[in-house]
Amino acid sequence: MNVKLSDEQVAIIEHPLNYHARVMSVAGSGKTSTMVKRIRYLVEKQGIPPGSIQVLMFNRLARKQFADRLEAEGVQYRGAIHVNTFHSYAYSIYNILIQQGIMPPRDFWVGDREELHKKRIRLAVYEVQRNTNDQTLNPDDAEQAISLWKASMIPPERAGHRFNPLYAAVYSVYERMRLEANGATYDDMIIDIVNILQNNKSVRERLIPNIAFLLVDEYQDVNYVQQRLIELISARKCDIMVVGDDDQTIYEWRGARPEYIRKFHRIFNDRQCKDYTLTRSFRFGPIIAQCAHNVIHNNKERHPKRVVSHHISADGHVKIMTIFDETSSSSLDEFVTLIVSKVKETQNPQKVIILGRTWAQLMNVQGALLRHKVPHYLIGQIPFTQLYETERMLDYLTLCRHFQDTINENLIVALQAVLNFPRRYIPKVLIDDVPRLVKGASVNQAITSLMNHVQRSSQRNLLEDMYNTIEYINRQIYADKAISAYESIERLSESFGLIEYFRSFYGGGEASESRIVWLRAIADLAKQSQLDVPSFIDYVKYLDPQCGLEQSECIPITTIFRTKGLEYDYVFIPDCIDGFMPVRGGNVNPCYDKEGIVEEPEISAWEESERRLFYVGITRARKGVYISTVKGQHPTHSPRSTSSTVFPSPYIAEMNCEATTAIMSALQSIAAEQTSDSKELIKHYDKYGDIPLITQTLTDYYLPELGLEGIADDLRRKIGTIRSNSLKQKQSVKTHENWWDRFP
């Protein structure tokens, strides 16, 4: 289907030679089509040799889509135009360096061999733990820290960590192991290439082809080392066009910085730069576009741009579902029913997605989907039933069930797994020795034996509490009126102080919150199932989120971080409450250069980063956004942590959904009826008053495009009256007698 290009697209495609270009592109604005046509224009109209064009994409999916679009456009790119991801570009250059003897051969830890990299991180963590007796180190956090240091080109000897300095020690051990194994990840390849290219001019001139045009997509997501690579590739000799949107910078946690696209002119100052903006979204209609703009406009540090629908008549809506309690089963059931109705409408579960800021936000809806046997799958996370915490709770319930039984291999494994959940400071040596110590005993005798083998009274007391709790539940399981699984989970949680444990062990942020929400979710799953302990254990073990179906037949669930560049008919955002969206707290990069040699832009304020995530989430939708939240009004600038009350996300109020929907629907009616009657539109201003962001979009874009300058003038006059009356009211309020006039 041929879509008429917008004037904004045409200007970018015909951008003159010998100028750099920065393209700010809002969500769904057709940037891929524009870039493809730009390359075709360069080759066919400007005579640029295809082999002198280099394109850098953010990931493999984007690279494939771009290459396919080039072929569909009729541009013969294979073997000529270079289209790479940063990783594939680094890989190709690295192999050339090896062939020329500049670099020694490496064992590439990429693709199927990435597990070698992860294994070395786990071994490095274990070695540091063994040497320091610090059991709080986490392999996932270590991997994240190492990736951040490498993204900033910080070697182990200069690596600083703001929260736990031992992660720098893990980095040092990991690098020793990697070099001993002669391994190289993509991060290592880019670092090595940048170091060689910036220190050896002759190698740089020999390796980097004579590039006339460099195109970088998703430029807002580049990190420090990628930025240095771009600078070296361009060598201040070619035209550069960068495309991106600082409003969609959501990967700062892995080193991306929006400052590179904002300050592009200053960085690449060897020639003049022209700015372009793609404001028109082909993805959604004016209601979603305006709601998105209403939110993101509140960010102070951003390149100014509007979000406008290319098609005024395009369908699209935003619906808010308010509930009394974010854990209410009836409200969750209603939300699930709505999700299923949209699957029925589209006849394709892949056109619907459930999104959250964190996995904690998605926990309750997972439980509801499981209860209703709605097929779904998680992207980037293991299922709820396979979470570490779920497995530990099942271990406890299993020990409760078999408390009087002779211990077997499965019960030994369960006992070992729960001894330090929650943390009881039982030494790892003792836990490893459990099979020998408890051989032939019953479960209750095994726990008693362990109580006699620990050295501290505090450890003994904690084990005694564990014994008493399991014994109580065991007696109730076999009582005339058996205890339910829900009551057992509540008893275990209360006796072990799991909520307090999560907060003390994981801190007050996302890590603890996700586990607290998990506890509520599994308790609710048990409550709704109405099963006893033995039945619930079997029920959870055999729960299949996909219900035996292929992923293509199931509803995807994931975090917003994994949806960049993707779109769906319908987006569902559950539990949109303060604390989940936004996640409050400092937006601090834990990794830094102790010697200050690498100076990279500061990370954004957390308020700005969190608002971008919400913006990216709602702009994935083509037809509709459905958001569930709690009743009430968010108290602006009041952190959730100061009260136990749960508030709606502040972004819901910022969307101004009710007024936006009413006014944009009236606009669409005017467009459909081709009328110049402004009464319906003006009526809404009588109700909602002056809403500058919506008014500007109407008077500057939509109404002039429809040839309705008369309505635009009516609207301006109406706004003038509203503002004049508002000013008079303010002045009248200020007019009062002097206090001294009250005295005789």
* Nearest Cα residue to 490 out of 499, 482, 481: 499
pLDDT score, position 1 = 47
Q: Which long-range contacts (CB under 8 A, 24 or more apart) does 1-8 make?
A: 3/30, 3/33, 3/282, 5/33, 5/34, 5/37, 6/30, 6/278, 6/280, 6/310, 8/276, 8/277, 8/278, 8/279, 8/280
Helix (H, G, I), strand (E, B) or coil at 532: strand
pLDDT score, position 206 = 82
Instruction: Categorize the per-residue pLDDT at 325 as very low, low, confident or very high, splitting at 50, 70 and 90.
Output: low
pLDDT score, position 210 = 82
Instruction: Categorize the per-residue pLDDT at 277 as very low, low, confident or very high, splitting at 50, 70 and 90.
Output: very high
**268 neighbors 22 (Cβ within 8 angstroms):** no
Q: Does the bond joining 422 to the residue before it have cis omega, within 30 degrees of 0?
A: yes
How many contiguous H segments (helices) and E segments (strands) does the chain have? 32, 18
Secondary-structure percent of the chain, ordered helix, strand, coil, rounded to 5: 55, 10, 35
Whether this prediction's pTM lies above 0.85 is answered by yes
Query: What are the binding residues?
Result: 25-32
Alpha carbons within 13 A on the beta-carbon side of 237: 13
User: If you search the block for the tokens 């360069």, which residue do you land on?
Assistant: 42
pLDDT score, position 140 = 87
261-to-216, 235, 242, 448, 490 alpha-carbon distances in Å: 11, 18, 8, 63, 51
Q: Is the predicted pLDDT of residue 260 greater than 70, yes or no?
A: yes
pLDDT score, position 307 = 96
Continuous segment of H or E residues that includes residue 274: strand 273-278
For 92-115, give the DSSP string. Answer: HHHHHHHHTTSS---EE--GGGHH
What is the DSSP secondary structure assignment for residue 631, as one 8-state letter? S
Q: Is the predicted pLDDT of residue 723 greater than 80, yes or no?
A: no
User: If you search the block for the tokens 């459905």, which residue do you land on?
Assistant: 626
Q: Is the predicted pLDDT of residue 645 greater than 70, yes or no?
A: yes
pLDDT score, position 655 = 96
What is the edge-to-edge ordering of all strands in the sheet holding 20-25? 82-85, 53-57, 213-216, 239-244, 20-25, 273-278
pLDDT score, position 453 = 93
Q: How far is CA 22 from the centre of its chain?
A: 25
Q: Is the predicted pLDDT of residue 554 greater than 90, yes or no?
A: yes
* Nearest Cα residue to 558 out of 511, 516, 613: 613
Mean per-residue pLDDT over the chain, rounded: 90
Q: Is the predicted pLDDT of residue 354 greater than 50, yes or no?
A: yes
Q: How far is CA 429 from the centre of its chain?
A: 39
Count CB atoms within 10 A of the CB of residue 379. Answer: 12
The span from the CA of 386 to the CA of 564, in Å, is 27
Alpha carbons within 13 A on the beta-carbon side of 676: 9
pLDDT tens digit string along 389-432?
999 999 999 999 999 999 999 999 999 999 999 989 899 899 99
Query: What are the binding residues for ATP?
Result: 25-32
317-to-203, 286, 344, 575, 625 alpha-carbon distances in Å: 55, 9, 18, 19, 6
pLDDT score, position 740 = 58
pLDDT tens digit string along 33-89?
999 999 999 999 999 999 999 999 988 888 998 988 888 888 766 558 999 999 999
450-474 mean pLDDT: 95
Q: Is the predicted pLDDT of residue 562 greater than 70, yes or no?
A: yes
Classify residue 617 as exposed, middle or buried by CB count within 10 Å of its CB (0-12, 13-18, 19+).
Answer: buried
328-332 mean pLDDT: 70
Instruction: Categorize the per-residue pLDDT at 641 as very low, low, confident or very high, splitting at 50, 70 and 90.
Output: very low
Both tokens of 618, joined, read 């709602």
pLDDT tens digit string along 262-272?
999 999 999 99
Helix ranges, 546-636 (H): 606-618
* Nearest Cα residue to 615 out of 263, 148, 284, 216: 284
**142 neighbors 124 (Cβ within 8 angstroms):** yes
pLDDT score, position 742 = 54
pLDDT score, position 714 = 85
Continuous segment of H or E residues that includes residue 20: strand 20-25
Instruction: Categorize the per-residue pLDDT at 624 as very low, low, confident or very high, splitting at 50, 70 and 90.
Output: very high
**463 neighbors 424 (Cβ within 8 angstroms):** yes
Q: How far is CA 672 from the centre of its chain?
A: 38
The span from the CA of 53 to the CA of 81, in Å, is 5
pLDDT score, position 209 = 73
End-to-end CA distance of the chain: 84
pLDDT tens digit string along 680-696?
888 888 888 878 899 99
pLDDT score, position 448 = 96
pLDDT tens digit string along 128-161?
988 887 767 888 889 999 999 999 999 999 999 9
181-197 mean pLDDT: 95
346-373 mean pLDDT: 94
Helix ranges, 678-708 (H): 679-688, 692-697, 703-705
pLDDT tens digit string along 114-128?
999 999 999 999 999
User: If you search the block for the tokens 């750099």, which residue do you land on?
Assistant: 20
164-181 mean pLDDT: 96
